[in-house]
Structure 1
Amino acid sequence: MQSTPEKKNERSVFPFTAIVGQKEMKLALLLNVVDPKIGGVMIMGDRGTGKSTTVRALVDLLPEIEVVENDPFNSDPRDPQLMSHEVRKKVINNQEIPITKTRIAMVDLPLGATEDRVCGTIDLERALTEGVKAFEPGLLAKANRGILYVDEVNLLDDHLVDVLLDAAASGWNTVEREGISVSHPARFILIGSGNPEEGELRPQLLDRFGMHAQVGTVKEPELRVQIVEQRASFEEAPEAFQQAWEASQESMRQKVIQARERLKSVEISYDHKIKISQVCSELDVDGLRGDIVTYRAAKALAALGGRNEVTAQDILTVIPLCLRHRLRKDPLEPIDSGLLVKEKFAKVFGSPMES
């Protein structure tokens, strides 16, 4: 209830459930919210296809989380893996920790951001004169337990992308200056978006994103008209538009919350695991990330569908998103990489391809 006045002062966000089309992008985002360990999503597509709008709309579906009050790292008051060192010391010493609830944060990383802005800085003068580790937190601290969004990620400096992916993979950010080291938890869902015309990410960086969604301009005239009319209605009266979609938004929120709770009880059969690994092997996917992400994404989809057992259809739905960016590029290959994955799935699983 406390968040209501705060919400009124916030910038109006287009409702996630009102977004027309772009099923692949929306699904990838929802699955990463259900299981953040999937490893984030890279969204590639034409300009003006709603990539940024959809990512920002996602935040409104996320549940509130408990955090330690006035903690710059959004420390979890109960999970030691998600606590800063200061909070952990207080817990060990049985000190009382003030707890509050907050909405999951989405942090935008600007293209011109420096490494200090992203990772944080250590005040060396204070460290040397006062003997304290004076740390100024960066964007990774703010994004802990939330979402870090990088628009035009393919234009970001490769070194900075490396830093982001390392933090996302390890769950920790370490800053070292002149022999002084500070670490803090940095577990976040990394979402990148970009336009393929402006260049692709290096394959070894692309591989570190859990999923890869492709979006395109809607071709059907009726859908285009619907999108334009909805956008016009939203810009004319944002609050009224949001109210009209609130029931749908709340239904999706509950679905996400229930899926997160159900996830731990979802099973994937050994036979399905073997076949997923066979698909990865026959497609010459390097490493085991493809196998692991496909298991996780299929389980998250089953949880979102209210089921405790992964089906072949769940795997077919997610496997192109999990593998297409891990295939070796063949410039002479005319077939879309996602379709290539589906064809291999049909061969291994012995079932027809469905959309």
Structure 2
Amino acid sequence: MNASTDLPGGGIASSSTARTTFPFAALIGQAPLQQALLLAAIDPGLGGVLVSGPRGTAKSTTARALAELLPEGQLVTLPLGASEERLIGTLDIETALRDGSVKFSPGLLAKAHRGVLYVDEVNLLPDALVDALLDAAASGVNTVERDGVSHSHAASFVLIGTMNPQEGELRPQLIDRFGLMVELENCFDSKVRQAIVKARLAFDADPDTFRASYATQQAAYVQRIHAARERLPQLAFDDTVHGHVSRVCIDAAVDGMRADIVMLRAARALAALEGAAAITVEHVDRVAEAVLRHRRVNRDADTHAPQSSSPPAQQEMHEFPQTSQAERKTGSEGDWGQLPPEAAGTMRVKGVIPLPAKKR
């Protein structure tokens, strides 16, 4: 058994797991993705983050790095071959009928509570599983019902779904329910690529020393997340912010009202993260692209739409698949995308506004 170590947020993780996690603070060229994940960590009710991009752009590495900053330090992966019962849990109906008591066997949603639920290639999952994931992510509660017997439990987690657009898209009804979306790109900047490779090689050569050099920054992230969660309910939306959000969403020709609500909540989370006294129009503008990218009616017009002031996401070289497509589809819970270091020659939020009920 591996020894346990305290995480900066008071959570517990095995020493081997912590030792092989690339620090969130050490990620290079991932500012838009890091911001989106931090906002989802502050307000899990945003509905999760959808990350689209080609292979090798550090999607799983970043998800694992975020999990380390959360109270439980827990990252749960959902295999492509998982059944709905494995995801939501099961009820023992015979026991309920015989004894009148509910016997519940937890699923992956329960295991992910207060941590990160990572779904690689979410676009390849059955729609029913994606629907259940998004329901729990938005509500913070998982309810299992069978033959008139039901059981509910807390399931507040940061949902991170990744996909390679070359392998197909999610249906519009499902993609809209992800709170935020970030599109990663390959990096063609020589200096950035060199910085990424140097950081990876330093981590491989001596992970303990490398992680220690970022300990202060990691602890600062943990404290910022905790403080932002406490501050979140104290921030209110004024009419100026409401009006600006409405205009931005109308200009993007989005369907329904979900974009407005998510944009308000994301702006509030950003204001809380930065310790601002009030939510401003600037906060709205800085989260708008992640809210609208997957909701614009004419997605082909993205290149002509106003872009975020944040720098474009760049490629990380911290992620290399360790399992094949066939292995993933068998339902294995392996550490997809994990690259262990080798010798080289990333709580329930109180007072949040609930998302509207799911359209039937």
Aligned to 1:8: 15
Map Cα deviations across residues 53-81 of structure 1 (whole Å, 9 max, x no partner). Answer: 0110012222x3xxxxxxxxxxxxxxxxx
Specify which structure has the bigger relative contact order, considering alpha-carbon pairs within 8 angstroms and separated by 6 or more residues.
Answer: 2
Aligned to 2:29: 21
Q: Distance in 2 between matches of 1:125 and 1:268?
A: 50
* Structure 1 residues 185 and 203: CA distance shift in structure 2, 3 A: same
Equivalent pair of 1:118/1:139 in contact (CA under 8 Å): yes
Aligned to 1:231: 200
Q: Which residue among 205, 213, 217 is the counterpart of 1:248?
A: 217
Q: Which residue among 305, 324, 337 is the counterpart of 1:340?
A: 305
Quick check: 1:201 aligned with 2:170?
yes
Unaligned segments of structure 1, at least 5 residues? 65-102, 344-352
Aligned to 2:62: 54
Equivalent pair of 2:42/2:229 in contact (CA under 8 Å): yes
Aligned to 2:243: 274
Equivalent pair of 2:68/2:74 in contact (CA under 8 Å): no
Aligned to 2:80: 111
* Structure 1 residues 18 and 137: CA distance shift in structure 2, 3 A: same
* Structure 1 residues 354 and 231: CA distance shift in structure 2, 3 A: closer
Q: Distance in 2 between matches of 1:117 and 1:31?
A: 28
Aligned to 1:90: none
Q: Distance in 1 between matches of 2:95 and 2:223?
A: 47
Report how far residue 39 of structure 1 moved.
1.8
Aligned to 1:145: 114
* Structure 1 residues 176 and 252: CA distance shift in structure 2, 3 A: closer
Q: Distance in 1 between matches of 2:212 and 2:174?
A: 40
Equivalent pair of 2:142/2:154 in contact (CA under 8 Å): yes
Report how far residue 309 of structure 1 moved.
1.8
Q: Distance in 2 between matches of 1:179 and 1:261?
A: 38
Q: Which residue among 265, 269, 285 is the counterpart of 1:296?
A: 265
Unaligned segments of structure 2, at least 5 residues? 7-11, 312-360
Map Cα deviations across residues 123-153 of structure 1 (whole Å, 9 max, x no partner). Answer: 2343344443222111111122332111111
* Structure 1 residues 171 and 260: CA distance shift in structure 2, 3 A: closer
Q: Distance in 2 between matches of 1:258 and 1:330?
A: 36
Report how far residue 165 of structure 1 moved.
1.3
Worse-matched range after superposition: 172-181 or 295-304: 172-181
* Structure 1 residues 169 and 36: CA distance shift in structure 2, 3 A: closer
* Structure 1 residues 330 and 127: CA distance shift in structure 2, 3 A: closer
Equivalent pair of 1:43/1:191 in contact (CA under 8 Å): yes
Q: Distance in 1 between matches of 2:80 and 2:154?
A: 23
Equivalent pair of 2:244/2:281 in contact (CA under 8 Å): no
Equivalent pair of 1:262/1:308 in contact (CA under 8 Å): no
Aligned to 2:43: 35
AA at the equivalent of 1:48: G
Q: Distance in 2 between matches of 1:107 and 1:278?
A: 38
Report how far residue 161 of structure 1 moved.
0.5
AA at the equivalent of 1:34: I
Report how far residue 52 of structure 1 moved.
0.6
Aligned to 1:182: 151
Map Cα deviations across residues 180-216 of structure 1 (whole Å, 9 max, x no partner). Answer: 3222222322111111111111111011111111111
The alignment yields a C-alpha RMSD, in angstroms, of 2.2
Q: How many residues align?
A: 302
AA at the equivalent of 1:31: L
Q: Distance in 2 between matches of 1:170 and 1:223?
A: 39
* Structure 1 residues 129 and 213: CA distance shift in structure 2, 3 A: same
Q: Distance in 1 between matches of 2:280 and 2:181?
A: 21
Equivalent pair of 2:31/2:310 in contact (CA under 8 Å): no
AA at the equivalent of 1:124: I
Worse-matched range after superposition: 276-285 or 41-50: 276-285
AA at the equivalent of 2:49: V
- Give the TM-score normalised by the residue count of structure 2: 0.78
Report how far residue 289 of structure 1 moved.
1.0
AA at the equivalent of 2:15: K
